Amino acid sequence: MTSFQFDIGSRARNAGRFIGRVRNELLRALSERKKDEKLSQQQLAKKLEVHRSLINRQLSGEANLTLRSLADLAWAMDMEISFELKKPVVEAGQNQPVTTSTIGHGQIKYIDGGRRRTSLCQKLVASSLAPGEQRNL
């Protein structure tokens, strides 16, 4: 049985987390506006002069949420966007390894149902031995 570990990398992980935070904040703000002023997706769409399905797709993640569309949604909700770049804070329990790539971690091991395979290193050592000489590895 062959086994693989999938690693998306820190770049994609950070982008995904950022997009998720933006979308969650947008949904939270819309939820507050719905409670306070009975603002619906239909009313947002009417104010922005777009179809309600576009607003729904943007909020659910099915359509791209560009900076322009984010600014338009904030405007339609009479809200202001604030943006901040800061160094990440590493805390216990984040479940995130320090390195996120297989680059620099050496040769990938092949696991095949328990059969032993000769590694590249073992082959090189064996080829460098004098004829008749044997070394236990």
pLDDT at position 19:
87
Whether the per-residue pLDDT at 10 is higher than 70: the answer is yes
Q: How many CB atoms lie within 10 A of CB 7?
A: 13
H helices of the chain, where? 9-37, 41-48, 52-60, 67-76, 120-128
Q: Which residue has the tokens 């943006």?
A: 83
pTM of the model: 0.57
Residue 73 has which token pair? 């949604």
Q: How many CB atoms lie within 10 A of CB 45?
A: 17
Question: Is the distance from CB of 59 to CB of 23 less than 8 angstroms?
Answer: yes
pLDDT at position 135:
56
pLDDT digits (tens, 9 = 90+) for 83-102: 888 887 777 766 655 554 55
Question: Is the distance from CB of 6 to CB of 108 less than 8 angstroms?
Answer: no
pLDDT at position 48:
94
pLDDT digits (tens, 9 = 90+) for 122-135: 665 566 655 665 55
